[in-house]
Amino acid sequence: MKKIPSSLEKLSKFVGNTPLVEVTCEFQGKKVTIFVKYEAWNFSGSIKDRMALSILKSGYSCGRLQPGETIIEATSGNTGISFAAMGAFMGHPVEIYMPSWLSEERKRILRFYGAILHEITVEQGGFLKCIELAGIEGSKEGSFCPKQFENSNNPAAHLMTTAPEMERGLLKAGYADINAFVAGVGTGGTIMGFFRHFSQIMNDFQAFPVFPVNNSDGSHRIEGIGDSFVPKILSLSELGRVIRVSDSDAIAVSRNINKMGLSVGISSGANLLAAAQKAYELGPQAVVGTVFSDCNKKYLSTDLCSGSEEILSVDFKILDYKIIS
Ligand code: PMP
């Protein structure tokens, strides 16, 4: 086992141990309670910092990653921002392959941290091309490709940190443990990590993946999830039925969360709505958990912050929330 650099140890202190929030909502006239890890409070502002830290630690400890090497990754934004910020902190150059249609803020933040950004259009092959190119470039001498879509350290980050933190937070505050979990799927790291952790301690634990309702051309406005292919680490056969959320609903719910003072992005709106729907369906026995994956700052130029009206297609409202640990 190789030595982990002290800069990476320092970084660890900025990742994880995020607030646990109890959100009370009304779905189809019925009160439901959802428990949420508020992941905007991580080093670079998203849940992906946990995965990036876990991959960098494992890269260093097995000797696959050396100081000063270039980190090259394909991403829909947050992962790239995590590696760009961590790379800047630790002295690693970073190159990012990202689909061109993602928000301007993502691109500007990546460049701001000093990363080289390669934008890939639909015509050039979109996300799958990003993964292919990052894999090729990242396998060259002096480079390291985290391969978030297939790296087991991605779900392991949530198995080892996010999910046990939720369990401990609930216990400390005197609440019952969650028996179902709902999350939007990008790489599938979050949902698989939660599923693995809670399945170890509960027999009939269920996890439900959330995907966007796609337009006829496959597009949607929930950045970070539903990347149009099934990642290797996502084991759909072990999970419950897929929940589809329209981007319009996700935006409307995300706006409501923001208006109550919690900064979140669009996928957080999808997660809360899907969790409330699942809690409603499963009935009074259900204790449902989810995550708010990132904050609103990367969405200033998107429809989240535009004046256009998004009408909720379901009877849903947020009543209140409080931080429980
Ligand atoms: N929401 C946002 C905003 C994201 O950036 C991501 C990661 N792409 C996710 C949700 C999904 O997380 P995961 O990759 O762990 O499935």
Averaged pLDDT in 10-residue chunks for the chain of 325 residues: 90 98 98 98 98 98 96 94 98 97 94 98 95 97 97 98 98 96 98 98 97 93 92 97 98 98 98 98 96 97 94 97 97
Two tokens, residue 205: 């634990």
Distance CA 222, CA 265 (A): 9
Q: Which pLDDT value is given to residue 237?
A: 98
Query: Which of 14-35 are b and which e, b meaning 16 or more Cβ less than 10 Å from the residue's Cβ?
Result: bbbebbbbbbebebeeeebbbb
The residues, any chain, with a CB within 8 Å of residue 217's CB and separated by 6 or more, are none
Residue nearest to atom 8 of ligand 1 (CA): 224
Two tokens, residue 101: 């249609």
Taking the centre of ligand 1 as the mean of its atom positions, its distance from the CA of residue 268, in whole angstroms, is 10
Q: Which pLDDT value is given to residue 21?
A: 98
Instruction: Tell me how many degrees the CA angle 300-304-309 measures, rounded to the nearest 5.
Output: 135
Q: Which pLDDT value is given to residue 76?
A: 84
Residue nearest to atom 10 of ligand 1 (CA): 224
Our mutation pick for probing the ligand 1 site, out of 190, 192, 230, 299, counting the most ligand atoms within 8 A of Cβ, is 190
Q: Which pLDDT value is given to residue 272?
A: 98
The residues, any chain, with a CB within 8 Å of residue 115's CB and separated by 6 or more, are 80, 83, 84, 87, 94, 95, 96
The amino acid present at 114, given as its one-letter code, is G
- For residue 116, count other CB atoms closer than 10 A to its CB: 14
**From the CB of 48, is ligand 1 less than 6 Å away?**
yes
- Ligand 1 nearest-atom number relative to CA 234: 16
Q: Which pLDDT value is given to residue 136?
A: 98
Taking the centre of ligand 1 as the mean of its atom positions, its distance from the CA of residue 225, in whole angstroms, is 6
Q: How would DSSP label each residue in 50-86?
A: HHHHHHHHHHHHTTSS-TTPEEEEE-SSHHHHHHHHH
Distance CA 234, CA 205 (A): 17
Q: Are β-strands 288-292 and 30-38 bridged in parallel, bridged antiparallel, or unpaired?
A: parallel
- Ligand 1 nearest-atom number relative to CA 185: 16
pTM beyond 0.85, yes or no: yes
- Ligand 1 nearest-atom number relative to CA 75: 8
Residue 215: DSSP 8-state: P
DSSP strand E in the chain: where?
20-27, 30-38, 70-74, 94-99, 116-120, 143-144, 180-184, 206-212, 243-245, 288-292, 316-323
Judged by DSSP in three states, 23 sits in: strand
Instruction: Tell me how many degrees the CA angle 244-162-183 measures, rounded to the nearest 5.
Output: 0
Q: Which pLDDT value is given to residue 2?
A: 81
Taking the centre of ligand 1 as the mean of its atom positions, its distance from the CA of residue 1, in whole angstroms, is 30
